Each structure stands twice: as structure tokens, then as C-alpha cells.
């Protein structure tokens, strides 16, 4: 309200009060009326007061209208700001469609606000991208990896480096879908991998990814590694390669330290190794004992004499023949035989004779012969082999 209007209102109030006092005095019996000049002045004051009343009333109505209009506009602004803030909250939470609806309501109330149009345009764009990302997720789940990868690349080009908070939820979804794409590609390659080293390379790749899908594939790779380690250990254990079997198991356990199957199998391998070493030690001992016996036999009883005959000829000479068989476990050579001759009738010692065996060398189990003569016996005699000598190869 202006100072002029305020003064006019005060004058209206004063004039109205004077008029009320005049009317009250005129209506009371027994009191003197106002002098004529006073009456004239009063009439003139009343006339002037009424001349002010109409403009003042108009000014009051206009002022009241302006005040009500101002308050209405303030209320609308507050409502629009509330809608904008709620839209912002919805957008930051990733509920872009709700944000668009709120901004459209705000635009209906303030259609010329450029900031509302800009916010609605961004929210609408985010809503469309959100729909595209939802379609990508469906494509990935249905193994349409090529199509999904192409769409993800397009979206990444649009929002990958956008810094507005509005796009943060979309960037999270984009990152999650990119991880899922990598995981699905790795998962599709697992059936083709049959070595621990190849699987370990894929495991290193998956370890750099996050999310439930990545964790699931990580477990799948580790299980396949431990399975291969177990199979390789079994194959080596069958060949009595205990060190190799333990190495395979330990390699598997390095990827899954708590694997119960590998842990139990490691104990089994260690037990089999101890039993084998114990049996091997006993076998070696027996082999050494047998080797010693064989060596003794080879050196002391390697030849067997058979078919020993002594024939007296017409000249009184004794013709002696026999067979030697190699009973050793190795070839022998340069074999010779010593024999003693005794009288057949009296048993008296007559003499001894020495001869070599032919062939010069005999393999195990082979036989050779010897023959010699003892002259001037003139009687039937008995011959005994007293010693044989040979060399072992």
C-alpha cells in the first residue's frame, strides 16, 4: 500500500468518525444543535469525505486482488518446485517414467519454464535408454550376445562419460550388463577348455569382474580345475607316479584350498606312497638277497655235470667224457673241469686229470661237453669231478 493511499484511508477513517459523532449529537434531545457555520463546515467535510471513499474503496479492492494474485502465484511456484524436486528424486532413483510424469504436471502449471522442459527432455531420454538396457538384458539371457554387445556399445557411447547424476543409475546398469556379457562369453568357452592352465587364464579374467554372474562362473571354473586336477592325479597314481599325483592335487588345492575331495585324495595318495615305498623296500631287500644268492651260485655252483663216463680201451687207457650245463643267471666262459680217478676194485686213488669244456662260452641253460684221457690205468676206474672253474660275464 502506497503512502498516498494510506493517508487517504486515514482521512476516510477520520471523516467517518466525525460523521458518526455528528449523527450521534443530532439524535440526542436537550442538546444544542451546531451553529450554522459549523453545520456548513460539517456538511462540507462530509462531502469531501464521500469524495475520497470511492477511490479508496477501489484502491483497496485492487490491492486485495493483487495480494490474492501474488499469493496464488507463490502457491503455484511452490507446487511446481515440489514437483520438480520429487521428479529429481525419482530420476536419481532410476524411476525415470515417474519423473517424466511429474515434470509434465509441473509444465502444465508453468509451461514457459525452460528448466522444466530441459529436465523433462533429459528424463525422457533416460527412460528410453532404460528401456533399451532392459531389452539388452533379455538379449543376453537368450544368448543373443552379438546383438546385445552392439546395443551396449551404442549406449556406452551416449552415457559412458556423462557426469549428470541423472545418468548414474543407468551407468550402473550399463556396467552390470557389460560384466554379464563378458561372463557369458567366458561361460560359453569353458566347454572348450580342457587344461588347468587355460582355465586359470579365464579365472584371472573373471576375478576382475563383479556381480553374482561373475561369482557363479568363478565357482564353475574352480570346480572344473579341481576336477581336472583330480583326474590327472588318478592317472599318475595308477602309474605309481606319486610325486606327480601329489603335484596335481596341490595345484588344484591352490585354487580351492578347502576342497574336501582333493584333500581326502591327497591323504590317499600319501598313504599309497608310504605303502608302495614299504613294499618297494622289502622287494629291494629280497632282490638284493636273491641277487646275493644268485651271485654265490654263479660263482660257486654255476655248472652242473652230467653224463660223466670213464671207458677203458684195449690199450689200458681211460677215456673220460661228460656234459656241463650253465646253471648260472649270467653267461659263463673259459670253463674247465678237474677230476680224480679211483680204482674200481680197490678204491685206491689213481690220479687226476684236467680238461676244458667246449664251447668256450655258455649262456644260462646251455650245455657243453668235455673229453679227455688218462693213460696206463689198465683196470676199470671211477672218475669224480672235484672242481670246476669258469668266468662270469
User: What is the predicted pLDDT for the residue at 51?
Assistant: 57
Residue 316 structural domain: 301-392
| Residues 380 and 310 reside in one and the same domain | yes
| Residues 103 and 157 reside in one and the same domain | yes
Domain assignment present for residue 281? The answer is: no
β-strand partners of 304: 325
Residues above pLDDT 70, as percent of the chain: 81
User: What is the predicted pLDDT for the residue at 246?
Assistant: 92
- The answer to whether 250 and 236 have CB atoms below 8 angstroms apart is no
This prediction has a pTM of 0.49
Summarised one tens digit per residue, pLDDT across range 35-87 is 334 333 344 445 555 555 656 555 555 566 667 766 766 776 787 788 878 87
Domain assignment present for residue 208? The answer is: yes
Domain assignment present for residue 286? The answer is: no
User: What is the predicted pLDDT for the residue at 70?
Assistant: 65
Query: Where a domain ends, among 81, 105, 129?
Result: 81
Domain assignment present for residue 296? The answer is: no
What does the block give as the cell for 385?
669231478
User: What is the predicted pLDDT for the residue at 11?
Assistant: 38
Q: CA–CA separation, 303 vs 362, rounded Å?
A: 10
DSSP type of residue 357: -
- Whose CA is closest to 384, among 345, 356, 344? 344
Domain assignment present for residue 87? The answer is: no
Query: Where a domain ends, among 152, 186, 220?
Result: 186
Q: CA–CA separation, 82 vs 75, rounded Å?
A: 11
- Whose CA is closest to 330, among 251, 390, 252, 248? 390
Q: Left (φ > 0), alpha (ψ -120 to 50) or beta: where does 362 sit?
A: beta
Residues in the chain predicted with pLDDT less than 70, given as ranges, are 1-66, 69-70, 72-73, 76, 142
User: What is the predicted pLDDT for the residue at 57?
Assistant: 56
Domain assignment present for residue 384? The answer is: yes
Q: CA–CA separation, 303 vs 328, rounded Å?
A: 7
Total number of domains constituting the chain: 4
User: What is the predicted pLDDT for the residue at 336?
Assistant: 92
User: What is the predicted pLDDT for the residue at 362?
Assistant: 93
Residue with cell 581336472: 228
Indicate which CATH number applies to the domain containing 349: 2.60.40.10
Q: CA–CA separation, 241 vs 236, rounded Å?
A: 5
Domain assignment present for residue 18? The answer is: yes
User: What is the predicted pLDDT for the residue at 205?
Assistant: 81
| Residue 230, H or E segment | helix 212-238
- The answer to whether 246 and 271 have CB atoms below 8 angstroms apart is no
Summarised one tens digit per residue, pLDDT across range 249-275 is 999 999 989 899 999 999 999 999 999
Amino acid at each position: 500500500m502506497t503512502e498516498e493511499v494510506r493517508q487517504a484511508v486515514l482521512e476516510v477513517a477520520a471523516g467517518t468518525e466525525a460523521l458518526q459523532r455528528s449523527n450521534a449529537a443530532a439524535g440526542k434531545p436537550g442538546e444544542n444543535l451546531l451553529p450554522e457555520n459549523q453545520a456548513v463546515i460539517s456538511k462540507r467535510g462530509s462531502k469531501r469525505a464521500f469524495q475520497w471513499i470511492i477511490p479508496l474503496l477501489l484502491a483497496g479492492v485492487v490491492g486485495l486482488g493483487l495480494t490474492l494474485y501474488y499469493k496464488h502465484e507463490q502457491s503455484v511456484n511452490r507446487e511446481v518446485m515440489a514437483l520438480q524436486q520429487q521428479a529429481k528424486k525419482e530420476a536419481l532413483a532410476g524411476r525415470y517414467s515417474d519423473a517424466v510424469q511429474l515434470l509434465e504436471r509441473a509444465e502444465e502449471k508453468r509451461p514457459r519454464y525452460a528448466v522444466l522442459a530441459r529436465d523433462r527432455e533429459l528424463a525422457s531420454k533416460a527412460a528410453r535408454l532404460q528401456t533399451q538396457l532392459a531389452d539388452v538384458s533379455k538379449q543376453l539371457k537368450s544368448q543373443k550376445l552379438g546383438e546385445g554387445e552392439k546395443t551396449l556399445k551404442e549406449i556406452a557411447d551416449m552415457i559412458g562419460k556423462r557426469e549428470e547424476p541423472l545418468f548414474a543409475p543407468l551407468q550402473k546398469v550399463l556396467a552390470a550388463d557389460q560384466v554379464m556379457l563378458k561372463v557369458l562369453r567366458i561361460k560359453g568357452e569353458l566347454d572348450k577348455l580342457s587344461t588347468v592352465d587355460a582355465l586359470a587364464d579365464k579365472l584371472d579374467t573373471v576375478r576382475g569382474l563383479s556381480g553374482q554372474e561373475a561369482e557363479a562362473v568363478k565357482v564353475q571354473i574352480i570346480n572344473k580345475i579341481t576336477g581336472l586336477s583330480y583326474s590327472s592325479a588318478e592317472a599318475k597314481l595308477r602309474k605309481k607316479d606319486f610325486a606327480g599325483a601329489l603335484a596335481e592335487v596341490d595345484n588344484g588345492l591352490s585354487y580351492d584350498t578347502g576342497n574336501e575331495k582333493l584333500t581326502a585324495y591327497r591323504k590317499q595318495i600319501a598313504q599309497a606312497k608310504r605303502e608302495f615305498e614299504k613294499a618297494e623296500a622289502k622287494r629291494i631287500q629280497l632282490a638284493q638277497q636273491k641277487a646275493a644268492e644268485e651271485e654265490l651260485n654263479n660263482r660257486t655252483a654255476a655248472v652242473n655235470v652230467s653224463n660223466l663216463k670213464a671207458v677203458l680201451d684195449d690199450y689200458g687207457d681211460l677215456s673220460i667224457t661228460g656234459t656241463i650245463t650253465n646253471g648260472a643267471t649270467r653267461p659263463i666262459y673259459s670253463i674247465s673241469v678237474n677230476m680224480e680217478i679211483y680204482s674200481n676194485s680197490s678204491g685206491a686213488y689213481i690220479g687226476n686229470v684236467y680238461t676244458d669244456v667246449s664251447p668256450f662260452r655258455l649262456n644260462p641253460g646251455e650245455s657243453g661237453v668235455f673229453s679227455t684221457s688218462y693213460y696206463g690205468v689198465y683196470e676199470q676206474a671211477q672218475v669224480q669231478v672235484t672242481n670246476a672253474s669258469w668266468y662270469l660275464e
